[in-house]
A and B are shown apart, each in its own frame.
Chain A
Amino acid sequence: MSMYNLNSINPLDKIRLTNGIDELKNSFIKLIKTNNGEAVNLLNAENLHFPTLFLLKIEIDNLNIFDNLNLRNRTAIELTNQILEKNKKSSINKYVSSDLAQIAYSVLKWIFDTGFYDDGLSNEYDEVLDITAILLIKIYKDQTILPIIADMIFDRNRKGLFNHNLVWAFFESKDPNSLIMIANRLLSTEAKDVELASKLLSFIPGIEKNNNASKEKKYTSFLNWLEENNPFLYSTGQSLQQVNRPITYVIDLGAKYLNEYVASDTGKTLKSFTYKEAKLLNEFSKLDNDTKLLLANFSSMLYQKDRNQWNKWIHYPIKEQIRIAKSMMGGEQ
């Protein structure tokens, strides 16, 4: 109930929340028969929450009042129907790739913002929320909903409900900073939260499968890893459909070696390389993985500590770079 302001709550939402779904439907049908205008006004009111509209979808159809609805409600019902259609070769693209794109965005945002609290209402309802989240993230690049998606993922996990599409939507944001929202659950008092967070972050050193470190230690490992590698991380697109423990982000070791930031969605460096850098990178690419890791980690560390020393070091021949890195880092990588 916390997201509903009782002073400004829509009467239809209030009936749903206090008396249940059946009573909402009965009251709505009664109101349509006695005061059609008032019933439509309540539906079209700004403070209506999506779950109420979703639950009255059949009644709206049966009572033939769809055309009396405002643009928000008409669009929301059309989008919902398209999401739930068995054959999804639908015309949802007419919304997202045309003049209607902005309207579709604001309606999807309304569906999600006023709808997430009732996640779990029904299988179909949850599917609408899943696809809405995917559309907002993948089409509209809206990352403001990520904290809510994270809440929903962990909430569904606790209840044993399907969350793979939400997990996919979350990682499709392709923003390494969003991992913090997962990592925070490493410190949860709920064992199921910790288990899922550990699984989703198991590609990070210190949080691997079968690592028995304390949750505090795992959290610290995550923070250190993110701080050191954030500028060089990019999304792989791996998902739970593909593997049990997806490696959702990897470090571009070449970029880390040259201290060049990469775009986390494409993996491409943000600026083009100079001739010298390209030559260095070419030599770097021929090294074995362990040596690449050694040079990238050493380079990044030196760059943070002493920019002048780094400038000197990066201009040495690569063999000399390796020798210095080995002597300074020892066996540590």
Chain B
Amino acid sequence: MIKISDKIMDPKEIINAYPPDSIEVKIIEILSSSDNIYIYKSLDELKFELNLRINIISASRELNDSNFSFRTFRKSICNPQYWTRTGEGGFLIKDKVTPSDGIKDIFTNSSMYGTECATAIVIVYYKALLNIYPQELFNELFADLHLMNWHYLDKDLDIGYYENVDFLPGDCRYFKNPDVDPLTPEWQGENTIDLGDGTYYGHGLGIGTADEIIKALNENRKEGSKQSAYLMDSATRPNFKYLSIKYYDFIAKLERENYRRILIDYRNFEAKLPKVFC
């Protein structure tokens, strides 16, 4: 069930705004038919979450289509013009580079980058936000970017890990490989993005169904293992509501500034007018 400003929302109110069979409609249907209550302060807040989820999916496809390679942290690579590779194998944004340029470069010069699956998910999150946020807001919020799986995450992403929830397109889902070959700890599991069409994007494995992801992980088990990899009942998500508040606050601030600027311009214009018109 969806509640907006304490009122139960009829999903038809919003479904019509999107093409039938779209991912947005699918998300709204899951939320509205759930036993859980999804509370939003405004329709805009809900729309922002839908938009960000769509952009997480599109950024996943974009990264999958790029030449961004799979590499373990020990062998990770990045474009040294934009990022410093840390001793741990993470990427730290350079002082004179804006976070937005750093993220864009991963997609522009993708062959210069390579890392593990969780870092790819974080890159997807940042790219999705960059698609929505004005650059000024993005750079203000995500200064000092440090990319290394789930660590050193910017507090403003406010990533959370949830169990026993409804799973939605755009969620990060984890496939666990409990009997992984000890020689390849990087395949102990796979962080993926639910693309909303029955497939998942997992960096290093590409796009595939759950069965295909499981099959790929199973190929990296101990010899003779009979314990299969599996999709966990958990989801990892950024804090959509917080990110929405930041977005609309910024937009409102911009509008106020624009209004003030127009007012000043008008007053200046008015002052210059010959008195005969006054």
Residues of A within 8 A of B (CB): 82-83, 88, 90, 92-93, 97, 123, 126-127, 130-131, 134-135, 138-139, 159-165, 168, 237, 239-244
Contact status A161-B87, CB under 8 Å: yes
Contact for B150 among A123, A131, A240, CB less than 8 A: A240
Q: Does B4 contact A (CB under 8 A)?
A: no
Contact status A241-B149, CB under 8 Å: yes
CA distance A244 to B176 in the complex (A): 16
Contact status A97-B88, CB under 8 Å: no
Contact for B185 among A92, A134, A161, CB less than 8 A: A134
Complex contacts, A160 vs chain B, CB 8 Å: 86-88
Contact for A123 among B74, B149, B174, B178, CB less than 8 A: B74
B 106-145 to A, binary, CB cutoff 8 A, 1 in contact else 0: 0000000000111000000000000000000000000000
Interface residues in B130-176 (C-beta closer than 8 Å to A): 149-151, 153, 159, 161, 174, 176
The interface centre, meaning the residue of A83, A161, A162, A241 with most chain B CB atoms within 10 A of its CB, is A241
Contact status A242-B191, CB under 8 Å: yes
Q: A159-B87, A161-B88 are in contact. Are A92 and B183 (CB under 8 A)?
A: yes
The interface centre, meaning the residue of B87, B176, B182, B183 with most chain A CB atoms within 10 A of its CB, is B182
Contact for B189 among A83, A131, A161, A242, CB less than 8 A: A242
Contact status A239-B149, CB under 8 Å: no
Minimum CB–CB distance from A119 to chain B (whole Å) comes to: 13
Number of A-B contacts (CB under 8 A): 71
Residue of A nearest to B75 (CB): A123
Q: A97-B224, A164-B73, A240-B150 are in contact. Are A134 and B88 (CB under 8 A)?
A: no
B 87-111 to A, binary, CB cutoff 8 A, 1 in contact else 0: 1110000000000000000000000
CB<8 Å pairs between A and B, sample of 24: A82-B183, A88-B183, A93-B222, A97-B224, A135-B182, A138-B182, A159-B87, A160-B86, A160-B87, A161-B87, A168-B185, A168-B188, A239-B188, A239-B189, A240-B151, A241-B116, A241-B149, A241-B186, A242-B118, A242-B161, A242-B174, A243-B161, A243-B236, A244-B151
Residue of B nearest to A139 (CB): B182
Complex contacts, B89 vs chain A, CB 8 Å: 162
Contact status B183-A83, CB under 8 Å: yes
Complex contacts, B189 vs chain A, CB 8 Å: 239, 241-242
CA distance A92 to B224 in the complex (A): 13
Complex contacts, A82 vs chain B, CB 8 Å: 183
Q: Does B35 contact A (CB under 8 A)?
A: no
Known: A131-B183, A237-B176, A244-B150. 10 other contacts (CB 8 A): A88-B184, A97-B224, A126-B74, A138-B182, A160-B88, A163-B88, A237-B178, A239-B189, A241-B189, A244-B153
Residues of B within 8 A of A (CB): 73-74, 86-89, 116-118, 149-151, 153, 159, 161, 174, 176, 178, 181-186, 188-189, 191, 222-224, 236
Residue of B nearest to A247 (CB): B161
Contact status B161-A127, CB under 8 Å: no
Complex contacts, A162 vs chain B, CB 8 Å: 73-74, 87-89
Contact status A88-B188, CB under 8 Å: no
Residue of B nearest to A127 (CB): B74
Contact status A134-B182, CB under 8 Å: yes
Contact status A93-B223, CB under 8 Å: yes
Complex contacts, B181 vs chain A, CB 8 Å: 88
Contact status A131-B73, CB under 8 Å: no
CA distance A92 to B182 in the complex (A): 10
Complex contacts, B161 vs chain A, CB 8 Å: 242-243
Complex contacts, A237 vs chain B, CB 8 Å: 176, 178
Residue of A nearest to B151 (CB): A244
Complex contacts, A130 vs chain B, CB 8 Å: 185
Minimum CB–CB distance from A139 to chain B (whole Å) comes to: 6
Minimum CB–CB distance from A111 to chain B (whole Å) comes to: 14
Contact status B191-A241, CB under 8 Å: yes
Contact status B191-A244, CB under 8 Å: no
Residue of B nearest to A136 (CB): B182
Complex contacts, B174 vs chain A, CB 8 Å: 242
Minimum CB–CB distance from B239 to chain A (whole Å) comes to: 14
**Closest 4 A/B residue pairs (Cβ):** A244-B150, A93-B223, A160-B87, A134-B182
Residue of A nearest to B179 (CB): A138
Complex contacts, B184 vs chain A, CB 8 Å: 88
Residue of B nearest to A132 (CB): B182
Minimum CB–CB distance from B88 to chain A (whole Å) comes to: 5
Minimum CB–CB distance from A55 to chain B (whole Å) comes to: 18
Residue of A nearest to B153 (CB): A244
Complex contacts, A163 vs chain B, CB 8 Å: 88
Minimum CB–CB distance from B200 to chain A (whole Å) comes to: 15
